[in-house]
Chains A and B, each alone.
Chain A
């Protein structure tokens, strides 16, 4: 089980990690600024295994791969949103951060709720209820299963 951190609609990559931080040399130096403009406490409170839940179009904006990378570095287990912007979505899969589309979840949960995700079954469980998620295309699930693009290329 992990705790839910909830964000709204059209959360852009500048809000996930602002441009003044993406030139820091390491992800560890960047990650403490994650979601800084929306929630100054996020980076200090999130624990490994917690979830980010959002509404439509999560990760819109720039191509910065640091956006999914800081979330993964903070231990976020998955981002579950109504929909994702395409570059963020590809980047997340390539670095091995699960991005799950679930239309019903957002409107039925609160920040702080405890949630469990089963990628195999394609469901999330919160407050005694189950919500079905859209499964990834097999090709992308393959990259994710192998831990991202680098691991996947190594296999090839």
Chain B
């Protein structure tokens, strides 16, 4: 019987074939901890009686949610993080380089076939390079830091097959929003998603990243793409048979198979206040807006900023709209400056911020109030996410967001 990608990754990790539903203990290749949870990880680690990290080089600490600090107390997290790094001999620390999920792949911490856990639900992102990655809590993170292992239940897999050419105004973000709308917020709970078909084969790694990033919004444990030449170039590796084999076998068992034709996709938005409340943009046209946010680990990459700039070139943001742009990393920021993208965005009236989680986690950079509406390219529109619980958050692609910023209302890009 054939295997799905997740079954192969777990098999390669523990050295024996596994089946969905089995509970197995895996050896962890890399962990990511971010600033919000480091104080809790540190105190649990010591409460558990550990005195050393199983392999300090495999742990990465990233400051992103609280960068730059917006409250005096935020700096406590940096003090605790810095002390932890020093005490336990960690070398991999990023204090202002960008958002954790962008940095984990961009800085080369994650390779195809790896098993990675992070103290953030959007850790599913690294499936874009064919890694099994998932979010966990701080007690489990402390336990991994001490033991290098974690128990997991081998998940069933939902295969999503997409073929054909996407319409010009549709981005990977529209595909993942449509899928979440179709599956529902719990439609993939405890399950792996596996993306196949020539549409995803033709996508950039950055576009795949937008999709694996949001898999958790359907409850998924992970979201996997088969590593290819683009993955190898992105990760700076040569593909071997081991990576090439990370493809779902023709006779693998899937709990569900979903087929889409790329030509059928249209620009969509997730409407307040659930990510699975997905509607075509054409059904929302005319709704007035106060702010637009283009950024986050979902859509703050160079291709996203360039897509916005292509639309904004020679135009100006509507006078009453604040357009906030947050690149996902310092590297992306530099590249966007170097290729002229930032100049176009600034000319169009954008407010450009430092790379960080910023507005997406509702801490800095454009908090909204009762009755206001924001079109945002990030991953969650939960109640109270970007300010008060009476803010209306619509999730959209960078193309849709840029078009709305100019029009001052919802329009089809």
Contact = CB atoms under 8 A, between A and B. Distances in A.
Interface of A: 10, 12, 14-15, 18-20, 22-23, 25, 37, 56-57, 60-66, 83-87, 90-91, 94-95, 137, 139, 148-150, 153-154
A62 B40 contact: no
Interface in B361-413: 361-363, 380, 382-385, 389
Given A10-B186, A91-B137, A86 B219 contact: yes
B274 A10 contact: yes
Contacts of A10: 185-186, 274, 276
Central interface residue in A12, A18, A56, A137, by most chain B CB within 10 Å? A12
27 contacts: A10-B186, A10-B276, A14-B382, A15-B384, A19-B362, A19-B385, A23-B71, A23-B73, A37-B384, A37-B389, A56-B186, A57-B185, A60-B185, A62-B135, A63-B123, A63-B135, A65-B139, A66-B40, A85-B189, A86-B219, A90-B140, A95-B137, A95-B139, A139-B23, A149-B140, A149-B143, A150-B139
Interface of B: 23, 36-37, 39-40, 44, 47-49, 66, 71, 73-74, 76-77, 118-121, 123, 135-140, 143, 146-147, 151, 153, 185-186, 189-190, 219, 221, 274, 276, 361-363, 380, 382-385, 389
A62 B121 CA distance: 5
B189 A83 contact: yes
B382 to A, nearest CB: 5
Nearest to A94: B139
Contacts of B66: 23
A86 B274 CA distance: 18
Contacts of B383: 12, 14-15, 37
B137 A65 contact: yes
A23 B36 CA distance: 7
Nearest to A37: B389
Contact of A87 (B39, B136, B384): B136
A83 B139 contact: no
Given A83-B189, A153-B48, A63 B73 contact: no
Given A10-B185, A153-B147, 12 more contacts: A19-B385, A20-B362, A20-B363, A23-B77, A57-B185, A63-B118, A64-B36, A91-B136, A91-B137, A139-B151, A149-B143, A154-B48
A14 B40 CA distance: 18
A23 B384 CA distance: 16
B137 A57 contact: no
A85 B361 CA distance: 20
Contacts of B76: 25
Contacts of B135: 62-63, 87
A64 B189 contact: no
B121 A18 contact: no
Nearest to A15: B383
B382 A12 contact: yes
B131 to A, nearest CB: 17
A25 B74 CA distance: 10
Nearest to A139: B23
10 interchain residue pairs of minimum CB distance: A65-B137, A57-B186, A91-B137, A63-B135, A63-B121, A14-B382, A37-B389, A94-B139, A62-B121, A10-B185
A25 B40 CA distance: 9
Given A19-B363, A37-B389, A86-B189, A148 B221 contact: no
A70 B44 CA distance: 16
Central interface residue in A60, A63, A86, A154, by most chain B CB within 10 Å? A63
Nearest to B380: A61
A129 B120 CA distance: 40
Contacts of A20: 362-363
B184 to A, nearest CB: 8
Contact of A60 (B123, B137, B219): B219
A135 to B, nearest CB: 14
Contacts of B119: 63
B207 to A, nearest CB: 24
A12 B275 CA distance: 11
A78 B118 CA distance: 26
Contacts of B221: 86
Contact of A150 (B48, B77, B185, B384): B48
Contacts of B361: 19
A90 B23 contact: no
